[in-house]
């Protein structure tokens, strides 16, 4: 009888491939857009999803988001509202919601950037993305 080989690291590698470096706003957006799938994986016992979500929660706390940024992020990514629907709930325009979400994502990715530079286990992008909003560079 032959031996059956089971790749016990396949799930971990698939998450690492999908979310390679969360220190870039683009990659963080991918993670946030998969928030509900990660919650489901967590409830199915996927330890790597648990770690990703715990790190995301910590990064959000460390980013010191404003109340509006936190609300906009929650409505758009946790409650799956459009920016227009989120704006109606918050009493602000769609563009304002977009700015709050972008500012929040940039602040959170800065936390991941810090972690990646200080040996916290995250892959470092080779080029740091500068995000420019009108006259302000972040």
Q: Which domain holds residue 128?
A: 20-137
Instruction: Note the pTM of the prediction, 2 decimals.
Output: 0.76
Per-residue confidence (pLDDT) for residue 118, from 0 to 100 = 83
- Could you write out the three-class secondary structure of 16-78? HHHCCCCCCHHHHHHHHHCHHHHHHHHHCCCHHHHHHHHHHHHHHHHCCCCHHHHHHHHHHHH
Band of residue 22 on the pLDDT scale cut at 50, 70, 90: confident
Tell me how far apart the alpha carbons of residues 137 and 68 are, in angstroms, rounded to a whole number: 21
Q: Determine, yes or no, domain membership for 84.
A: yes
Q: Determine, yes or no, domain membership for 12.
A: no
Band of residue 137 on the pLDDT scale cut at 50, 70, 90: very low
Q: How many domains does the chain have?
A: 1
Q: Determine, yes or no, domain membership for 34.
A: yes
Q: Determine, yes or no, domain membership for 28.
A: yes
Q: Determine, yes or no, domain membership for 4.
A: no
Asked if pLDDT for residue 7 goes beyond 50, the answer is no
Question: Alpha carbon 90 to chain centroid distance?
Answer: 22
**65-90 confidence digits (pLDDT tens):** 999 999 999 999 999 999 999 999 99
Q: Determine, yes or no, domain membership for 5.
A: no
Asked if pLDDT for residue 114 goes beyond 70, the answer is yes
Q: Determine, yes or no, domain membership for 1.
A: no
Q: Determine, yes or no, domain membership for 40.
A: yes
């Amino acid at each position: 009888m032959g031996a059956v080989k089971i790749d016990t690291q396949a799930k971990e590698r698939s998450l690492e491939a999908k979310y390679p470096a969360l220190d870039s706003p683009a990659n963080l957006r991918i993670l946030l857009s998969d928030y509900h799938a990660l919650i489901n994986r967590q409830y199915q016992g996927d330890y790597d999803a648990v770690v990703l979500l715990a790190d995301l929660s910590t990064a959000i706390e460390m980013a010191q988001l404003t109340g509006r940024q936190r609300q906009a992020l929650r409505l758009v990514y946790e409650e799956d509202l459009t920016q227009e629907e989120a704006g109606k709930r918050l009493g602000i325009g769609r563009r304002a919601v977009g700015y709050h979400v972008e500012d929040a994502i940039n602040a959170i990715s800065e936390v991941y950037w810090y972690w990646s530079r200080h040996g916290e286990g995250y892959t470092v992008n080779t080029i740091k993305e500068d995000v420019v909003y009108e006259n302000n560079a972040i």
